[in-house]
């Protein structure tokens, strides 16, 4: 059975770093504003360098590559969450055992 997947071919009009827009306004003017602009430009450069090889792929391959990266990040997130839950459970159990009644 085939799934119909719609893929955007051109993401040029989408800014993936919209969340960094507030950096310059948060710092205000002067040196802080320059630092904010620098952070924003470095993030844009890194994003551009990372996505350059992906942009050379055909649209369908690019979609599946991005989906694989997304799944890898979810795997790491789940692993970290499980470790955190294990540590929390161990600490809670230890505190309950040591609790004075």
In a domain, 25, yes or no: yes
Dist CA 25 CA 11 (whole Å): 26
For residue 24, how many other CB atoms are within 10 A of its CB? 17
Average pLDDT of 84-95?
A: 92
Q: Are residues 76 and 51 in the same domain?
A: no
Domain membership of residue 49 as a residue range:
15-56
In a domain, 8, yes or no: no
Entry pTM: 0.43
Per-position b or e across 35-62, b if 16+ CB within 10 A of its CB: ebeeebeeeeeeeeeeeeeeeeeeeeeb
In a domain, 3, yes or no: no
Q: Are residues 83 and 100 in the same domain?
A: yes
In a domain, 42, yes or no: yes
Model confidence pLDDT, tens digit, residues 5-60: 665 655 555 555 554 555 445 545 555 667 777 878 887 787 777 777 777 888 89
Residue 19: per-residue pLDDT:
47
Q: Are 65 and 54 in contact (CB under 8 A)?
A: yes
In a domain, 47, yes or no: yes
Q: Are residues 51 and 68 in the same domain?
A: no
Q: Is 71 left (phi over 0), alpha (psi -120 to 50) or beta?
A: alpha
Residue 8: per-residue pLDDT:
60
């Amino acid at each position: 059975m085939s799934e119909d997947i719609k893929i955007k071919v051109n993401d040029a009009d989408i800014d993936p770093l919209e969340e960094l827009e507030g950096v310059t306004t948060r710092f205000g003017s002067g040196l802080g504003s320059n630092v904010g602009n620098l952070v924003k430009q470095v993030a844009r450069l890194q994003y551009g360098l990372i996505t350059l090889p992906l942009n050379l792929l055909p649209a369908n391959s690019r979609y599946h590559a991005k989906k694989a990266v997304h799944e890898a990040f979810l795997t790491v997130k789940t692993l970290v969450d499980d470790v955190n839950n294990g540590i929390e459970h161990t600490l809670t159990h230890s505190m309950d055992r040591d609790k004075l009644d």
